[in-house]
Chain A
Amino acid sequence: MSAVAAMEDVAPVFRAVSSSTRQLFQLLNCIRFSSKAQVHITTEGVRFTAEESRVMQGIVFLNKELFTSFVCASVSDETPASPSSQDSDLSPDLPNFQISLSALLETLQIFGASENAPRFGNRPENDGYGTNIRRDRPNAFSNQALGMAGVCRLSYTSLGAPFSIILEETGVTTTCNLNTYEPEEAEEIPFARDEMQVKIITQARWLFDAISELSSTSPHRLDITALPTAPYLSLSASGPLGSASVEFSKGRELLETFTVRERWTQSYKFEMVKAAAEAMRLASKVSIRGDNQGVLSLQFMVEVEGGGISFVDFRFVPFVRDEDEDDEQEEVSEEENEEHDED
C-alpha cells in the first residue's frame, strides 16, 4: 500500500471525475467482444480500442465532455494541458497501454451502473417499480433519479502504474486498481475515405433489427449488398437451416443518406458484425460505409443520458470472395431483382 501512497504524491498523468458510471459503462459495453482493450489517453478524451484477430476493430471514444473534470498532462510537462492544445502535438508522450476490458466493465458495474442495463434473465420481471412501457428508462426510485448517484474517479499516474478507479456512492468508497499492460502495436484497419464506394446513414435500430433477424439462421457469413436501385440495401446470410435476407426496398424512406455509385457487395464474418449489436441497440444513428477494398466501417452515434453525443466506431475486413462464388452471388441477386420487378 505504501507504494500506492507514494505514487499519489506525484501528480498523475491523467485524472478524470465522472458523476455517473452509467454512460461510461454503456459505451464501453459496446466493445466488450474483446477481453483486452488498448487505452489511449489524449487531452480530448480517452480512446478505447478493442480488436479481434486483426479483422475487426471497435473504438469507443470517451469525450472529455462526459466527465465533470478531465485533466491530462503529458509525462514531460506536468502542467494541465490547455483545451486548445492539439493531441497530435502531445500524442507521443501521452499514455498508451492495455487494460482488461472485462475487469473494467466489472468495476464500473459495482454501483448499479447496470441497474437499467439490459441484462436479460438476471433482472426480476417485476420489482414493483419497473414498467413495461420502456424497459430502459430510468426507474423513478433509482439512485440516479434520487440524486444519490456515485462519483467515479479515474486516474493513471505513470507508465507501469495501475489504472485506478475510485467509486463513491452514498458513503461507500471502492478503490479498484487495474493492472495495465504493455501496449501492442495496434495498427488501425485502413479505411480509404477518398475511395469510398458506399455511404448510408440510417437509424441504428434498422440495422439492429436486421442483424437479429439474420442471426436466427445461425449463419457463418453475412453478405451486404448495396445497389443504386431497389432493393437498395440488402443483408443476407445463410446457415445450415436455410437462408434469410432483409431488404430495405423502400430505401428512400428508411435511409437518410444513400450514396452508392454502383453495385457493391461484400461478405463479413457474421459473428463479428453481431458483436456490434450492443452498439446498434444503443445508438440512434449509424453510418454504414464501405471502401473499394471492401472494408466496412460502421459509425454509431450514441446519445447518452445527460446530453452529449458519443461515437462508437467499428471496422471490419471482408472475406475474400472466390470468382465463382461471386458469380453465384450475381445470379441470386439477379433473381431477386426479377422478383422485385414482378412486385
Chain B
Amino acid sequence: MPILSFSLNPESLGRLHDALVCLGKFSESVSIEATHDKLILYTLNSSKSAPQGRPKEKFNCKIYNKALLSVFKGRSFDPEKETAVERCDVVVEDGEGKTKSRFIIKIICRHGVLKTYRLTFESIPAMHAVFSKESANNKWSTSSKTLREFIEYFGPGTEQLDIYAEGGRVSFTSYTEKVMSGNEILKQPLHTTIAIDIQEFADFSAEEKLHLVISVKDFKSIITHAGLTNTMVKAMYSRPSNPLQLSYGDEGLLSEFILMTIGDARGSSAPKAGRASSKIASKQPLEARSSSKRTASVAEMGPPSAVAPNLSRKVSKPSPPPPQPSIQSNALFFPEADDDRRWDPVDHEDEDDGEMLLWDAGANHASSGQRLQRLESQSQSVNSNSGMNVQAARSNEYEEVPTQRLEPIKQVAPTQRLSEIHGIFDD
C-alpha cells in the first residue's frame, strides 16, 4: 500500500533536476515533504536537529541527493530522442514486514522501456527554518537575469557578500578579509562592488544604510538556479543578523531560501533593543520540554487540535554553530529539566529584538511566524554566517494557509518556570 504516489510529466523532470542541483549545493541530502496538494523538497545545511515525533498528517522523508540527481540527470524533455521519457511515476512504500520501504521511481520511456529505481530513504520528521514575513519590512525584487549577470563578477575566492543601499544606489560587494598568520598572508583581501541604481529594481522598499552580509557561495548557488528562468527574485529581511528570505517562482515551482545574515559590525542604524532575557526564558523552556519529552508530549497535552501537535514539537535553536560556544548555547540542545536558571542568558551585547533563525517542526510558516514574533530571541549566534536554510518547494499554491487556531496561544509570563508552562500547549 503506497503512502505517497505522484506522477511527473516529462517537461518537469528537467526542472526537478535543476532544483535538486541547487539544493545539492547546500546539503548532500534532500528532504521530501508531501501534503495533499504540494510536494516540498528542502534541505538544511546545518542539521543539529533536535529529534521530534513524526507528524501524522504529512509524509516526510530524507533521501541522499546524489541518488535522486542521478535518477533525474539528463532527462530534459526532447521528443526527438529515441529514449524520451513518456511518464514518470513515483510511489513510496513504507510497509512493515514483507514490503520493503523504498522510494520507487518508475520512468516509462518510449518503446515501453521501463526503468525502475528503488531508493532507500530515511523517514524523518520535518524540519524547516522559520522566517517571519510580518517583521520583514525591507523588501526588494529584481529580475533573475539581472542578478545572474552580477554574480559573474564576484571573485571566485571571495566569501562574503554585502548588500548595502545608500543614496538611491544599491551596492553588492563581494569581499574576503585579509587573513594573516604571523608574517605570512594566507588570504589576500579582495573587494568587488557592483552598484546599481534603485530604478533598476522592479520594486525597492528597504531601509538604507543597512549592511546585510551573506555568503557569496550561497547567493551564487541560488541565483544560478533562479537565472535558469526569467523570473523575479524577491528578497525580504528585517535587519542584519536576522534571516533573509529570497524567493522566486515559475509556473508551479516556488523556491524559497532562508539565509542567515551576519550581524553588522560596522554599526547599522538599527536601534539596539533592550535586554529581553526574561522573554527568552519563556521560549526556551518550551523547547526544552518538547525535546526532552518528545514522544510523550502528545499524550500529555490532552486532545490536540490539528495544529497542536506541531506546536508542541516546535523546536527552536540558533541555527549556526555559535562561533564561541557558551554554556547557554549548549544548553539549548541538552536541556536539564529542573534547572531553569540555566536558561537565563547571561549577557548579550548585540541583542536585538528580532526573530532568529528557528527550526519549525510543524512546517507551518505563517503560524510559527506569528508565534515567534512574540518571543524575544537571543542572537548570540548570529555572527556566524553558516546558519542557513534552503528550501525549494514545488507546488501550485505554496503559500501557507494562515491558521487562526494559533490565536489562543497564551502569552507566557517572562519569568515562568519550566514546571509551570503546561498552559502553553493547551488551546
Report which B residues bind A (CB closer than 8 A).
64, 66-67, 70-71, 73, 82-83, 102-103, 111-120
Contact = CB atoms under 8 A, between A and B. Distances in A.
Contact of A205 (B82, B117, B118, B120): B82
A246 B114 contact: yes
B111 A241 contact: no
Contact of B112 (A205, A238, A241, A248): A248
Contacts of A205: 82-83
A241 B82 contact: no
B66 to A, nearest CB: 7
Interface string A253-273: 110000000000000000000
10 contacts: A210-B113, A213-B115, A241-B64, A241-B67, A242-B102, A244-B115, A245-B116, A246-B116, A247-B115, A254-B112
Interface of A: 205-206, 209-210, 213, 216-217, 231, 238, 241-250, 253-254
B114 A231 contact: yes
Across the A-B interface, give the 5 residue pairs with the lowest CB-CB distance, nearest first: A250-B112, A216-B70, A242-B119, A241-B67, A247-B114
A205 B120 CA distance: 29
Contacts of B112: 248-250, 253-254
A217 B70 contact: yes
B118 A242 contact: yes
Contacts of A249: 112-114
Contacts of B71: 216
A241 B66 contact: yes
Nearest to A215: B70
A250 B82 CA distance: 15
B70 A247 contact: no
A244 B114 contact: no
- Chain A interface mostly: mixed
Nearest to A247: B114
Given A205-B82, A209-B83, A216-B70, A244 B113 contact: no
Contacts of A241: 64, 66-67, 119-120
Contacts of A250: 111-113
A242 B116 contact: no
Given A209-B83, A217-B67, A217-B70, A244 B116 contact: yes
Contacts of A216: 67, 70-71, 73
Nearest to B121: A242
A343 B341 CA distance: 63
Contacts of B116: 244-247
Contacts of A242: 67, 102-103, 117-120
Given A216-B71, A241-B66, A248 B119 contact: no
B324 to A, nearest CB: 38
A253 B118 contact: no
A243 B117 contact: yes
Nearest to A238: B118
A248 B102 contact: no
Contacts of A248: 111-113
Nearest to B66: A241
Most chain A CB within 10 A, of B73, B118, B119, is at B118
Contacts of B114: 231, 246-247, 249
Contacts of B117: 217, 242-244
A231 B66 CA distance: 29
Nearest to A252: B112
Contacts of B83: 205-206, 209
A254 B82 contact: no
Most chain A CB within 10 A, of B64, B66, B73, B83, is at B83
B115 A243 contact: no
A220 to B, nearest CB: 16
Contacts of A243: 117-118
B352 to A, nearest CB: 43
B165 to A, nearest CB: 37
A219 B71 CA distance: 14
Contacts of B119: 241-242
Contacts of B111: 248, 250, 253-254
A244 B114 CA distance: 10
B115 A246 contact: yes
